[in-house]
Amino acid sequence: MTKSNESRELTPAYYWGPSVMFEEMERFLNDRGRDRLWFPGMMRPAHRVPVVDVREEEDRYVVSAELPGMTKEDVSIEVGDGALEITAKKDQEREEKGEGYLRRERGTMYFHRRLTLPEDVDAQTIEAKLAEGVLEVRLPKVDKGSDKKKVEVQ
């Protein structure tokens, strides 16, 4: 395996989005000794990077991602451009009524993770299963001998 192929192992690709900008702004203000009222933590969106474990087995790679509270309808998996992209989004709405008050809360949980795929993954036969808040994606390896062709000598 060459060095360039080694760098294509399953590694997280850099993700930048609005939530990263908010975190950087909050860190900047905190580092300057400013009052947290300038940028209260409650204004941050509920964007999280899920905990992801990757293991290599003899015939496949297995990616496990913790997605608590998500159902299979909330999860989207895309494969293309040499990457596996896992996205999960769930809108939440809660209402609580009591004597003399009404409390409503709305929010969105959003998970996103992008992993670079090794060249030996068979993208056509990838399988995924979500059970008890854990998503497991099985990425079969391509049989390395399948690209070889026997040439008859004349």
Instruction: Indicate which CATH number applies to the domain containing 131.
Output: 2.60.40.790
On whether both 67 and 113 belong to a single domain, the answer is yes
On whether both 19 and 86 belong to a single domain, the answer is no
pLDDT < 50 regions, the chain: 1-8, 11, 34-46
Question: pLDDT tens digit string along 117-137?
Answer: 888 898 888 999 999 989 999
Which residues in 59-77 are b (16+ Cβ under 10 Å) and which e? ebbebebebeebeeebbeb
On whether both 26 and 68 belong to a single domain, the answer is no
Residue 154 lies inside a defined structural domain of this protein: no
pTM above 0.75, yes or no: no
Question: pLDDT tens digit string along 39-49?
Answer: 444 444 445 56
Task: Domain of residue 32: give its range.
Answer: 14-45
- The CB-side HSE value for 147 (13 A sphere, CA atoms) comes to 7
On whether both 64 and 137 belong to a single domain, the answer is yes
On whether both 20 and 34 belong to a single domain, the answer is yes
